[in-house]
Structure 1
């Protein structure tokens, strides 16, 4: 009996550590994702996401309930003012309610707009303009090191509710460090755009 109890505890320990320390390399294939207000194409291990409505577009990862952990991915937008908003949606309860961290590549090298290069929002109730008005400079920042706005850059998003830290291009210093505004502690995870298009690749998730 003691042996069986020991084996049960050991199995539970291994399962918990596997679940919360699990590293998932996400396949860039249609069977891994579900579109919302979007059209996705998959070629050469790159996901090209396009909007199909006036609403923001999300490509949700199938069978994923994400709580805390780290998401790493490569993102590409373009240096086109007002037409490149690319990032990650997380803790989604449906296609409308979720948190987002996103980038505005067209501001990366703009001396007057660089402090608006990365943004956190709580959709749909607290979009960027509401947070900017109520909490100036708190939920957005410049990005460092500064990427090429027309090229790929690497993003590492560390979530430990309510804290969010975002690192760019292997920097040891976060470009953005904020607390979530929502009370959602887990939920769906997806790629997000609120512009004509965006590109994503090398999505890796580390739970815990």
Structure 2
């Protein structure tokens, strides 16, 4: 039986923090409302996408301004779920990502999940997808369909340069389509699963921030229009 995720809440704030997120048994977040969510470098809006209630996340600046506004090579930003404290366990959710209108040619619809987010929200671990790579005609691009990063020190570009092929892999993806992802974290190791596959598509045996803990957050990269729904946490 899946254990309940215990949320650390100050007395009297339980209703304020949980009800807007429609939490169920302290471990499920429908993500059909923006109330209580904490965006950093992005905007968030409650929408219906492909018949499903969700939140849409976009970079906080216009597409033409993103390259100049980005604080790092990833661009984009995160949306922190309040009162989540995650160290080891499982994160499951549905995501959909595609290049936003006006995005540069290198946009891939980068969308994913950040975990162990520190009090300084620029520091976190993350798995994300590049949906436009999943069915590309170029094999090398397909090999870059999923990615692990550890911000702010280990962007994708540094990991690819220093250890090519180790922190990214192939998965069958399509831009703009709902995709189920699951991240399993134990100590310094993490596994990424896509669309209920029995085997992980990406293994990380050396999480760069070690065995830390922190919040859970929705993540998008530069030039992305991202959608998120039905996030579940368990031990």
Give the secondary-structure state (helix, strand or coil) at the position aligned to 1:30: coil
1:175 CA displacement: 0.4
Give the secondary-structure state (helix, strand or coil) at the position aligned to 2:153: coil
Match of 1:105 in 2: 131
Match of 1:91 in 2: 116
**Structure 2 counterpart of 1:47, from 46, 55, 76:** 55
Q: TM-score, normalised by structure 2?
A: 0.74
CA distance in 2, matches of 1:153, 1:72: 11
1:161 CA displacement: 1.8
The structure carrying a bigger helix percent of its residues is 1
Give the secondary-structure state (helix, strand or coil) at the position aligned to 2:44: strand
Match of 1:3 in 2: none
Closer/same/farther in 2, CA of residues 162 and 40 from structure 1, 3 Å limit: same
Contact 2:76 2:221 in 1 (8 A): yes
Select the structure of larger CA radius of gyration. Answer: 1
1:195 CA displacement: 2.3
Contact 1:91 1:185 in 2 (8 A): yes
1:86 CA displacement: 0.6
Matches within 5 A, 1:72-91: 72-78=92-98, 82-83=106-107, 84-91=109-116
Q: Which structure 2 segments of 5+ residues have no match?
A: 7-24, 62-69
Matches within 5 A, 1:31-70: 31-44=35-48, 45-53=53-61, 54=70, 55-70=75-90
Give the secondary-structure state (helix, strand or coil) at the position aligned to 1:50: strand
Matches within 5 A, 1:162-173: 162-173=188-199
Contact 1:33 1:61 in 2 (8 A): yes
CA distance in 1, matches of 2:196, 2:30: 22
Q: Which structure 1 segments of 5+ residues have no match?
A: 1-16
Contact 2:5 2:27 in 1 (8 A): no
